[in-house]
């Protein structure tokens, strides 16, 4: 019997997942954990900012449309931090104007929903290369 070594591509990476859709939140969270990431989740913009300020992650997977504070406002606030995390925005909004605005705020990646989890993991790996 041959032992297989499973490579955890996001081992020990701290990632915050922010989405108000529980199913989307759970699927992204599970996919990242399966790759070894240490994840935390929240479902509104104010909570996302609090987590980023108190226990900064290395990466934030951020929904655009959130209750209490939009993804754009979270992105703007997070990117002003001393050592800002990388941010991947996910949205069902296909408008180019929103993507361009996110880019002016410093977003590191932009994916349309439904998010292909393998694409998200690959992007996370690319952004978190030491």
Note whether residue 33 is domain-resident: yes
- Could you tell me the pTM of the whole model? 0.92
Per residue in 112-126, pLDDT tens?
999 999 999 999 999
Q: How many CA atoms lie within 13 A of 79 on its CB side?
A: 18
- Give the integer Cα–Cα distance in Å for 120 and 9: 12
Q: Which residues contact 35 (CB under 8 A, 6 or more apart)?
A: 8, 9, 10, 11, 121
Answer whether residue 127 shows pLDDT above 90.
Answer: yes
Note whether residue 8 is domain-resident: no
Per residue in 73-85, pLDDT tens?
999 999 999 999 9
Maximum Cα interatomic distance, the chain, rounded to a whole number of Å: 55
| Domains of the chain: total | 1
- Tell me the residue range of the domain where 98 lies: 14-127
- Sign of the alpha-carbon torsion through 40, 42, 48, 51: negative
The CATH number given to whatever domain includes residue 119 is: 3.40.50.2300
Note whether residue 83 is domain-resident: yes
Quick one: pLDDT at residue 1? 43
Note whether residue 7 is domain-resident: no
Quick one: pLDDT at residue 8? 84
Per residue in 83-113, pLDDT tens?
999 999 999 988 899 999 999 999 999 999 9
Answer whether residue 2 shows pLDDT above 60.
Answer: no
Note whether residue 2 is domain-resident: no
Note whether residue 3 is domain-resident: no
Note whether residue 31 is domain-resident: yes
Note whether residue 35 is domain-resident: yes
Per residue in 17-65, pLDDT tens?
999 999 999 999 999 999 999 999 999 999 999 999 999 999 999 999 9
Answer whether residue 3 shows pLDDT above 80.
Answer: no
């Amino acid at each position: 019997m041959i032992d297989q070594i499973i490579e955890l591509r996001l081992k020990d990476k701290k990632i915050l997942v922010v989405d108000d859709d529980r199913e989307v939140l759970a699927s992204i969270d599970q996919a990242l954990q399966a790759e070894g990431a240490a994840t935390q989740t929240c479902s509104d913009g104010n909570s996302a900012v609090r987590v980023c300020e108190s226990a900064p992650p290395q990466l934030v997977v951020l929904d655009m449309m959130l209750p209490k504070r939009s993804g754009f406002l979270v992105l703007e606030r997070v990117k002003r931090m001393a050592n800002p995390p990388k941010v991947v925005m996910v949205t069902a909004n296909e408008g180019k104007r929103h993507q361009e605005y996110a880019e002016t705020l410093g977003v590191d990646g932009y994916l349309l929903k439904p998010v292909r989890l393998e694409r998200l993991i690959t992007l996370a790996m690319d952004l978190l290369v030491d």
